[in-house]
Structure 1
Amino acid sequence: MDDNAESDKYIETNVSTLYNATAPLLELYKTARISPLSLTYYGLCLLNGNYTVKLHFAEIVFTNDSSFNSLGRRIFDVYLQGRLVLKDFNIAAEAGGPGKPLVRTFTAVVTSHTLKIHLYWAGKGTTGIPQRGTYGPLISAISVDPNFKPPVHHKKIRSAIVAGTIAGAVCILTLILGILRKKGYLGGQIAADKELRGLDLQTGLFTLKQIKAATKNFDLGNKIGEGGFGSVYKGLLSDGTIIAVKQLSSKSKQGTREFVNEIGMISALQHPNLVKLYGCCVEGNHLIMIYEYMENNCLSSALFGKDTMQKLKLDWPTRQKICLGIARGLAYLHEESKVKIVQRDIKDSNVLLDKDLNAKISDFGLAKLNEDDKTHISTRVAGTIGYMAPEYAMRGYLTNKADVYSFGVVALEIVSGKSNTNYRPKEDFVYLLDWAYVLQERGHLLELVDPELGSAYSSEEAMVVLNVALLCTNAAPTLRPTMSQVVSMLDGRTAVQDLLSDPGFSSTYSKYKAVRNHFWQHPSATHSLSTNGPSSDSSRSNIDGEENGLVQRIGDEDVSIKY
């Protein structure tokens, strides 16, 4: 659940007073099963025929008073045997207020000995009242009764057969729900095609047969990347379209959550500087995403790759174009798209390059929705050391300015051709950004420009990009520009602010310098610095090899080629 809790909770106990219910029915509504996204119930081994299904509801999380708890709204859809029977269902509104029991009765036709009841969040209502994570479907009880007399083969054992059938069905149902919850797939693996269509995703659905044909049955020769989430393959569709196939590992629980997150985040996003999602495939245990193929892999390989086939000679106009492309993609996510998104893991390996070396942002598995009325999001830290803004890395304080900071680091890497995490010009300097500030203070900022460019670049244009990068990496988030302002400065429509003349910069820089150095020298102890806000257990950090060294990433694993 999206509530920062260490363990998920799927049973709610009534907060609001219960009305219009007497014992023993009162006990029925004191607790309810809840999920942030989906609840699915199966009745197995049933005789075919018509059944009366009663769904029992009572809004027990929100209250009917003048407190903050009264402001919540829960809206979800209900499907019975794959058919939508309740659209935008609001328990409190239908019952006349919180704490009032409500029963909805339906007739279900069982034709294959299985009854399926599916409740799915409608994507509406409140998402943070009274607390984050309470906005998904909720149900108190379900009763199922046959509208026919079961056949009697032996009167003496009739009761035993019926009781055994019911007991067996209940046991199987309980077992299935337990297994799904334990594996983190409560409500199903969002697995059936109908369930994905219920998400109203603006993307295509592929069959496993199509994906196997495209990748030659996931041939190792087509494998172009691997990480904690699983593997990435190059594929060719029957119409000639080259694709990248991201296959989620069945062992990755974290990856499953990111799969759902990434599909939901980018299915409706369309921008030239975002990697295009063609669709997904969900069959059996397979969770697969299909993207447009990027011929030049990732920016990390282009800049720092040891392999001469991977490392590219990027001239100055191309580097400018890449910086501006990343900035435009982020500006779209932060300010222009319908849903405002914080990407949360901007770094060179998450920027892909197409055949014309246009930059495209990828990997939205860690992305977060940024609601318009929220000043920030408090969340468990997940990202990559070296690219995370100080306020986010140390306190979990997340705004779109965290992406701005990460962009500034990547822009420095593009201009310098050096990795922020691996380049140490002198022992006194922990990372590239630290050295950049020193050179800026000395008036020698152009020493950062990649020597491989020689003199084939504009010093004025290089100063613009470098100064923008330093503005973006200001220790104080309020002093960083927005991404639309960054775009305006990079394309010359707005003059770049003079970093030294900013009175807020010099005081803020000296204030945060010691904290920054501590953060870099002791990354595993980062969260002990936090005095409030959420924290992340450093034991969850993973260290993986990149092109020229080690990158530490919190909350997920890294990979050299990612989608």
Structure 2
Amino acid sequence: MDSQKKLLIALIVACSSLGASVLFSVCWWSFHSKRKRRAQRDGAQSSDSEEAAMGLSVPSLLDRFSSLKMVNRNVSILVMDLKMLEKATNGFKESNILGQGAFGCVYKGMLDDDMHIAVKKLDCGSQDASKVYEIEVGFLSKMQHQNIISLLGYCIHGEARFIVYELMQNGSLETQLYGSSNGSALTWHKRMKIALDTARGLEYLHKHCKPPVIHRDLKSANILLDADFNAKLADFGLAVTEVTRKKNRVKLSGTLGYVAPEYVLDGNLTDKSDVYAFGVVLLELLLGRRPLEKLAPTQCQSVVAWAMPQLTDRSRLPDIVDPVIKDTMDVKHLYQAAAVAVLCLQPEPIYRPLITDVLHSLIPLVPVELGGTLKTERSAPY
């Protein structure tokens, strides 16, 4: 009996030890499996985050697109054939040119379904041009806002790159202000509407993009107007994210006359740099003058430096307003718009407002029917 008891006890101990070992093995396997899956998931999220921060590269775009790329439920980007674009633009005919930039021209065109388009053709023989192309396609493929130009498609053929946008029938703000019409199509209320639309586009970049985006080349040439003079921001080839800006010292880029002083002098780039450029655009809308005006072949005058003392002088301000809109607005609204411009153009970025504050200051200057809160009497001018 003693032997049987001892044998039974030994069997129980052995079975218990075996069960504990099996249970431990199962728990260890389960723990490491979960840990491995979590690491893979975090790695994928990190990769997606970096891609979102830096913009999709062209090879990445090519890998993911077949003929149609669904960016999200509402946005799709078409990979277009060169022959289709040649046909749409009449072989990139000179008469179809809408504008010219540092790396190529923009052409108007029409697809077979009577859809009007604008095609930017870039010669990417240089590294800078190729980088600009990648950045712009990368950013615009992820953006969707009523005041940001819509990317419809792209095409790669040899060293040539093509970006296809929606066509903006009234061209750029620069063309409207300084072209043959000399701003005659831009009433006071339309100008305030354009300023408000521009501020809304910048607020989307600064506050709603993840990570935030600094446009870095805001100017009247990069503000496009549709058939109803709704404004949209374009040309994102120099745009950077806050992530990129913090990691690397960003090379000085932009357009003379619009670049903030701290960026020129110290290389200090922030969202307040865009606010300064917005102030210059607002000044153009008020005065009808270019940011830099030639006094002589070798001498230029900064309109900001010339205008700032007069913007705060209520007796002098009405005399420097664009003659096209002079005496067509409530003078109180003129003072308010000038005050916003003065704040945006402060030399020290700390004293400039956030673009959200600018936006709220402009809304009361825009009629309700144009997207603001101002109630107007249509019967008689001020």
TM-score (norm 2): 0.74
Aligned to 2:339: 467
Q: Structure 1 430/312 Cα, relative in aligned 2: closer, same or farther at 3 Å?
A: same
* TM-fit CA distance, 1:405: 0.3
Aligned to 1:194: 63
Aligned to 2:121: 247
For each residue in 1:146-181, what CA deviation from the matched residue of structure 2 results, as whole angstroms up to 9, or x when unmatched? xxxxxxxxxxxxxxxxxxxxxxxxxxxxxxxxxxxx
Q: Structure 1 484/323 Cα, relative in aligned 2: closer, same or farther at 3 Å?
A: same
| AA partner of residue 62 (structure 2) | D
Aligned to 2:257: 386
One of 304, 308, 313 as aligned partner of 2:185: 313
TM-score (norm 1): 0.51
Aligned to 2:177: 303
Q: Counterparts of 1:479 and 1:380 in 2: how far apart (Å)?
A: 24
* Mapping of residues 36-75 of structure 1, within 5 Å: none
Aligned to 1:448: 320
State the secondary structure of the residue aligned to 2:149.
Answer: coil
CA contact 1:281–1:288 (8 Å) conserved in 2: yes
Aligned to 1:289: 163
Q: Counterparts of 2:305 and 2:132 in 1: how far apart (Å)?
A: 32
Q: Counterparts of 1:220 and 1:355 in 2: how far apart (Å)?
A: 23
Q: Counterparts of 2:239 and 2:124 in 1: how far apart (Å)?
A: 21
* TM-fit CA distance, 1:462: 1.3
* Mapping of residues 469-508 of structure 1, within 5 Å: 469-492=341-364
* TM-fit CA distance, 1:463: 1.2
* Mapping of residues 76-475 of structure 1, within 5 Å: 122-124=47-49, 190=59, 193-194=62-63, 201=71, 203-305=77-179, 307-308=180-181, 312-371=184-243, 378-422=249-293, 430-443=301-314, 444-475=316-347
* TM-fit CA distance, 1:227: 2.6
Q: Counterparts of 1:352 and 1:126 in 2: how far apart (Å)?
A: 28
Which one has a larger percent strand, Structure 1 or Structure 2? 1
CA contact 2:312–2:339 (8 Å) conserved in 1: no
State the secondary structure of the residue aligned to 2:285.
Answer: helix
After TM superposition, the structure 1 stretch with the greater mean CA deviation from structure 2, 245-254 or 401-410, is 245-254
For each residue in 1:82-115, what CA deviation from the matched residue of structure 2 results, as whole angstroms up to 9, or x when unmatched? xxxxx88969xxxxxxxxxxxxxxxxxxxxxxxx
Q: Counterparts of 1:88 and 1:203 in 2: how far apart (Å)?
A: 27
| Unmatched runs of 5 consecutive residues or more in structure 2 | 1-39, 366-382
| AA partner of residue 306 (structure 2) | W
Aligned residues: 315
* TM-fit CA distance, 1:442: 4.0
| AA partner of residue 362 (structure 2) | L
Q: Counterparts of 1:490 and 1:342 in 2: how far apart (Å)?
A: 21
* TM-fit CA distance, 1:203: 2.2
For each residue in 1:483-512, what CA deviation from the matched residue of structure 2 results, as whole angstroms up to 9, or x when unmatched? 11101011139xxxxxxxxxxxxxxxxxxx
CA contact 1:375–1:399 (8 Å) conserved in 2: no
CA contact 2:184–2:324 (8 Å) conserved in 1: no
CA contact 1:262–1:363 (8 Å) conserved in 2: yes
CA contact 1:468–1:489 (8 Å) conserved in 2: yes
Q: Counterparts of 1:323 and 1:229 in 2: how far apart (Å)?
A: 28
State the secondary structure of the residue aligned to 2:324.
Answer: helix
CA contact 1:377–1:397 (8 Å) conserved in 2: no
Q: Counterparts of 1:367 and 1:249 in 2: how far apart (Å)?
A: 19
For each residue in 1:283-338, what CA deviation from the matched residue of structure 2 results, as whole angstroms up to 9, or x when unmatched? 33331100011111111111112x34x75431111111111111111011100233
State the secondary structure of the residue aligned to 1:287.
Answer: strand
Q: Structure 1 323/89 Cα, relative in aligned 2: closer, same or farther at 3 Å?
A: closer
What root-mean-square deviation, in Å, do the aligned CA atoms of Structure 1 and Structure 2 show? Answer: 3.2
For each residue in 1:165-201, what CA deviation from the matched residue of structure 2 results, as whole angstroms up to 9, or x when unmatched? xxxxxxxxxxxxxxxxxxxxxx9x6398336569985
